[in-house]
Structure 1
Amino acid sequence: MKASAAVPAAALLGSASPARAARQSPFVGTDGTRFTHNGRPFAVAGFNNHYLGWGTRAEVDDVLETAKRSGASVVRTILHSVIGSPDGSVPSTWNWQSTADASNMGMHGTYLMSWDAGRGTWAFNDSAVNGLGRWDYVIWKAERLGLKLDIALIDFWQWAGGVQQVCRWFLPDYNSRAYKDEPAVFAWDLMNEPEADNTRLTPDGTPLSEDWISRMSAYVKSIDANHLVCVGGEGFYDRSSFVDPGRELAIPTIDFGTWHTYPDYHGLTPAQVVELIHRHGETARQAGKPIVLQEFSYSSLHEDQPEALRSWVEAIAADSSCAGWLYWRLVGRVTPAPTRAFPEAENDPPTVFAPDNGEHFDVAANPDATPANVWRSYQVLAGAARQLTRPNQPQAPARR
C-alpha cells in the first residue's frame, strides 16, 4: 500500500534533487529553525482553503486576493479529489457529483485521480476543465499575487475521497470474494430496529414503513441474490406505527421475520414472553416463512433470570414454527481502559471481561467474572444452543 500510494506523488512531482534551497533561490528554504526566501528570513502566516482545486476561477481569485489583503504569505490547500471509476464500475465512497456550493463540496464534476478498471491501476485526469489542469491557474494566480501555496498531495480523510478512496482501490481482501459471495454471511438486516411511522402514507397511498421495506429489500436482492434478507425489526403486534409481523412477512423480498423483546422495557412478564413466542410462531406458520427471536434479554437483577431465559429458549425449541433465537448479549475479554487508538491498540492484550453497561443483560463465559445467577444464565443459554444446533454439525461417515 505504501508503494502504491507513493506513485501518484512521484508522477505529479517528478524526480528531485536535495530540497535545501540556495541562498538566493526563489524557492523557500530553511536556516536552522527559520524559513528563508531569496536569502532573507521568511515568516509564514496564512490560511487554509479546501476548494481551490475545484472552485471556479472567480472563486479562486476571491480566496487568494482576500488572503493577500489579509497579510498572508502562505495559503495551504489540498489536491482534491479522488473517486472510484468515472463509469461507476468501481464505486466512489462519497458523492463527488454533488451540486452543493464549492465550499460545501460541490465539486463541479472535478476529480484528479480515479481507478482505471481496464488497466487495473490508477489514472490521472489531466483535463484543464475538470482535472489536474485546473491547478495551473491556481498556481499562476498565487504567483501573480506574491503568495506561496502549501499543497498537500492527497487527503487522508474521506470528504473528497482521499486515502479512504485509494484504500478501496488497493485494499487487500482476505479471501478475494465480494460480500455477496461470502458464505460466512448468514443474512442481511435492512437496519437494526428501523422505526419509520407506518401510519404515514407515500404519495401513492402505501404505508411508509412497508414501502421502505419493500423497496430496500428488493434493492438488496438485486445486488445479492445469494443471501437472505430480513428487516431486523422489533416485530411489535398491535402498534399502528409499526408494520404488523404478518404484513412484513407477506413482502416477497423479506425472507424471514424478526422480533425483539425486553420485558424490563416492554412491561411484560416472563410468561407473556412465552405467549408471544407462540404468537410469532403462528404468524410464521401462516406466512410459510421462518421467524427468529433476534434480540431478547432479562435483567440479571431479577433472581429468576436463568429460569425465565430457560422457559423462553425451551418454548422456541418446542415450537416447530419458531426457527431460533439470538440473545442480547455475550461479552468477552477486552483491553482495560484507558485504551489507545489504532494502530497502536492492535497489539494491546485483552485481559479483563467487559464490565456491564448498567442494563444487566450481559453474560460471559467465566464464573469468576460475573454474578452467580448470570453464570447460571450463561450455562442455560449455552446448553440450549448446543442442543438446538447439534443437527447443524456434519455427520461422521458410517464405519464399514
Structure 2
Amino acid sequence: MFDRRTALLSGAALLAGCAASGTGPGGAAGSSRFVRADGTRFRVGDEIYRYAGANIWYAAYLGANAAYGNRDRLKRELDSMAALGIDNLRILGSAELSPLKNSITPGFRTETANYNETLLTGLDFALAEMGKRGMKAVIYLTNFWEWSGGMMTYLYWTNGGRYINMNDPAHPWPEFADMNAAFYTSDAAIGLYHDYVRAVVGRTNSLTGIRYADDPAIMAWQLANEPRPAGSEAVGRPNLPAFYAWIGKTANLIKSIDPNHLVSTGSEGLQGCHSDAQCVISAHEPAGVDYLTTHIWPLNWTWVDSADLPGTYDAGAGKVRTYIADHIALATRLGKPLVIEEFGFPRDRGLFDPASSTSFKDRFYRLIYDSVLADAKNGGPTAGSNFWAWGGEGRASSPDHRFQPGDTTYLGDPPHEPQGWYSVFDSDESTKAVIREHAGALKALRA
C-alpha cells in the first residue's frame, strides 16, 4: 500500500538519511549536487558532468525485501558496475500490473491508488545504495511497450477492458503501437498515470527519510520508455498535437513537484518519430524538457543481420554513425544536451549464452563510445551514454533462454526478449574492458 501521508522523522532517522545521501534535505549542499542543464552541457555545481552509464531496469525488483528481491545481489551488481567506472543507471520506476503477454510481475501499481509499497521500497533501497556509491539514477515512469504493462494497460483500465498484445499474429505491426496512440487522447488514462507520477515524484524515501525531490542520487525523471506518437504515420501524424501536449503537461507536472531534477522524454529520437526531425524538435522544445535522448538498435532496425555479422556490420556501422550525427545536429539546434541512453548489440552468431564471444558487440560499443568522446572533446552536446543492459550475475533459468513466469534471475533483457540477447554479463571480460576504458577516458576530460 502506498503511504500518502508525510512521515514525521525523528532526529536520528533524519541524520541517517542525510548520511546516506551526503546532504541534508533541501540544503545548499544538496542543491550543489543536483545535475542541471547549462546549454548543451550538464553540470553538477561548477563541474561539467559527463558519464558512462548502464541500464538496469530491474534494480527496484532486486531491492525489494520480498521473495522476488535480492538486496545482496543488488549491492554486488552496483559494486561491479562502479568498479568499471559506471556512475549513471537508467532504471524502471513503474510497472502496471497487466493482462498483456510477457508483462513483468509484480507491478508497482494496479488500476487503484493502492500502489505496491514493497516494490516502491525496493526503489528506495536501490536509490539509497546508489547514493552511497556516488551513482545517479534516471527513472522512467511508464512504458510504451508491453513488458512492464505500460500505456496499453492504462488504456485497458479505462476503455472497458480492451487491449491487444504486441506481436499477436492476429494484430500485426503496427496495430499494437497504433492502438497505444489512444493513450495521449485519453483523459482517464492520463489521469491515472499522472496520479502515479505525483505519488512517486513526491515520495519520501522510506529508508533514508529524504524526499526524492531532495535526493542527489536522482539525475532525472523520464516520462516513459520510448514514447512514440504511434506506429504508423497514418495514425501518428494526426496524433502529434496530443503527443506534444502530453509531453508538455507531464514535464510541467513533474517540475511543479520536483524543481531540482531534470526531466527527459525517454524518446528513441528519429526512429520513434517517423524519421521526422521536426517531430523530434517539437517533442523536446518545451522548457520542462531538459535534454534530448536517443536509442540505437542496429539489429532491431534491420541494419545488421545477426546470422551474418561479418558481412553486415560495416554497413550497419555506417548507419549508426549517421544516426548519431543527426542527433548531435538536433541537440545543437535545440541548445540542449544529448544522451545516447540505450544502445545494444547481439553476441557473435546471435547466441544468447554468456559463454559465447562478443567481438562484434565490443566493436559496436567502441563505435558508440568513440562518438561520445569525440563530440565531448569537440565541445558538442553529447553528455553521456547508457548501454543496454547490465545482466551481471543473472543467467537464463531455462535452456531456451526464454523468461519464465515468476523468474527472479533478472537479466538486462526484459521478459519479452531472449534472456542474454543484449545483456552484459559479469563474465564478459572483453566488453567490460571496453566500458572501463571509455569511462576512464571520459572522466579524464576537463572541459
Q: Normalization by structure 1: what TM-score?
A: 0.46
Q: Normalization by structure 2: what TM-score?
A: 0.41
Larger radius of gyration: 1
